[in-house]
């Protein structure tokens, strides 16, 4: 493998930096969200709707967070060839998703504060105008969700386009089995922000409808509180997912059991056993593996072990230490 081939391999397999569709999608959604946010805040302030105002401020946080996701994609791509990043820059995207989720919790606190304050100090609301703006916000959110959904679908196809020929049915089954574990968490963070916007828009519409038709003015701030709780639950789940990757908590992943199965099957004749094993993620669908083996096979080499594990194409980097046992 010459220097050019090595650089291409590192970019395609180790330096997993997302896809251009996701970067373009998040950037477009950021600008759409920012424009809609300005309209909603202005309308909520003018028409005196706390639910609409909360939705607008909530959307402002999402504009920042989605922008952070787009920035993470650009930064990861820009530094993809930097050798100082031992396993690539993919975790920049994960860090962006984590920061977005934390930022979302801050906004939840602001939403709760504003809604509780308005619950005890209600003010008159211009219902028809406020509802029209809330419906506009919901339509924009649904459009943004469609954009990000298409980016996810394109990224999935792009990721599967680099498969290797020559793998057996077991390898193919393994690849399909692991797909559910290979989410783009940076794109997911942007998607969650858009869904949170849609949820608060629905809550705002329901609150305005109840206040307009039934005279339940208290429903406006109550829906603000309900929306904040829903968003908090989503943010908590996203923080848990991104934290797991950032802290390399992957030893409960199915790929670990598959490594053990390969060594047990291929090393059975020579009584080759795993003495120590470490697996961690270096890309959405890429893992690095360091293992220490004890064996009675004097001919066993690290290259042979890598060939054993090549059946699982998600394992892109293998470091092997072999200890030869005596006859006893």
Instruction: Kindly tell me if the per-residue pLDDT of 277 is higher than 90.
Output: yes
Superfamily, domain 3-246: Cation efflux protein transmembrane domain (1.20.1510.10)
**274 — phi, psi (to 5°)?**
-85, 125
Are the beta carbons of 320 and 291 closer than 8 angstroms? Answer: yes
Give the C-alpha separation, 257 to 259, whole Å.
Answer: 5
182-203 exposure pattern, b = at least 16 Cβ within 10 A, e = fewer: bbbbbbbbbbbbbbbbbbbbbb
Distance in angstroms between the alpha carbons of the first and the last residue of the chain: 41
Q: Which two tokens stand for residue 313?
A: 């194409």
Lowest mean pLDDT among 9-18, 68-77, 226-235: 9-18
Lowest mean pLDDT among 189-193, 230-234, 236-240: 189-193
Give the C-alpha separation, 16 to 14, whole Å.
Answer: 6
Higher pLDDT, 277 or 88: 277
pLDDT recorded at residue 39:
79
The predicted model gives 312-323 an average pLDDT of: 89
35-44, 114-123, 300-309: which has the highest mean pLDDT? Answer: 300-309
pLDDT recorded at residue 293:
93
Give the C-alpha separation, 194 to 220, whole Å.
Answer: 21
Are the beta carbons of 172 and 115 closer than 8 angstroms? Answer: no
The predicted model gives 288-299 an average pLDDT of: 91
Q: Residue 181 — pLDDT band, cuts 50, 70, 90?
A: very low
The correct CATH number of 254-324 out of 3.30.70.1350, 3.30.750.24, 3.40.50.2000, 3.40.50.10490 is: 3.30.70.1350
pLDDT in tens, 106-141: 878 877 887 788 778 776 777 777 778 778 878 887
Give the residue extent of every domain in the chain.
3-246, 254-324
pLDDT recorded at residue 275:
92
pLDDT recorded at residue 174:
44
Higher pLDDT, 253 or 234: 253
């Amino acid at each position: 493998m010459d220097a050019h081939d090595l650089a291409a391999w590192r970019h395609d397999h180790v330096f997993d930096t997302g896809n251009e569709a996701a970067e373009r999608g998040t950037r477009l959604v950021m600008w759409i969200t920012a424009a809609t946010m300005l309209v909603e805040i202005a309308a909520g302030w003018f028409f005196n709707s706390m639910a609409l105002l909360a939705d607008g401020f909530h959307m402002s946080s999402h504009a920042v967070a989605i922008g952070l996701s787009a920035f993470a994609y650009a930064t990861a791509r820009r530094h993809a060839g930097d050798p100082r990043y031992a396993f690539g820059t993919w975790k920049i995207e994960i860090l962006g998703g984590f920061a977005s989720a934390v930022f979302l919790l801050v906004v939840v606190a602001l939403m709760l504060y504003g809604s509780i304050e308005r619950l005890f100090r209600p003010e008159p609301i211009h219902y028809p105008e406020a509802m029209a703006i809330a419906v506009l916000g919901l339509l924009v959110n649904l459009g943004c969700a469609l954009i990000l959904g298409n980016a996810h679908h394109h990224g999935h196809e792009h990721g599967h386009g680099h498969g290797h020929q020559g793998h057996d049915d077991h390898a193919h089954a393994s690849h399909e089995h692991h797909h559910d574990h290979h989410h783009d968490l940076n794109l997911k963070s942007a998607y969650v922000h858009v869904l949170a916007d849609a949820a608060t828009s629905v809550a705002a519409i329901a609150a305005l409808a109840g206040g307009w038709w039934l005279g339940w003015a208290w429903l406006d701030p109550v829906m603000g509180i309900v929306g904040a709780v829903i968003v908090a639950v989503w943010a908590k789940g996203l923080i848990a997912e991104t934290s797991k990757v950032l802290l390399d908590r992957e030893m409960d992943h199915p790929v670990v059991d598959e490594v053990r199965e390969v060594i047990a099957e291929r090393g059975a004749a020579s009584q080759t056993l795993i003495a120590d094993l470490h697996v961690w993620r270096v890309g959405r669908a890429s893992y690095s593996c360091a293992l220490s083996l004890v064996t009675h096979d004097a001919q066993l080499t690290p290259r042979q072990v890598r060939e054993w594990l090549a059946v699982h194409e998600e394992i892109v980097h293998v470091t092997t230490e072999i200890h030869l046992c005596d006859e006893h």
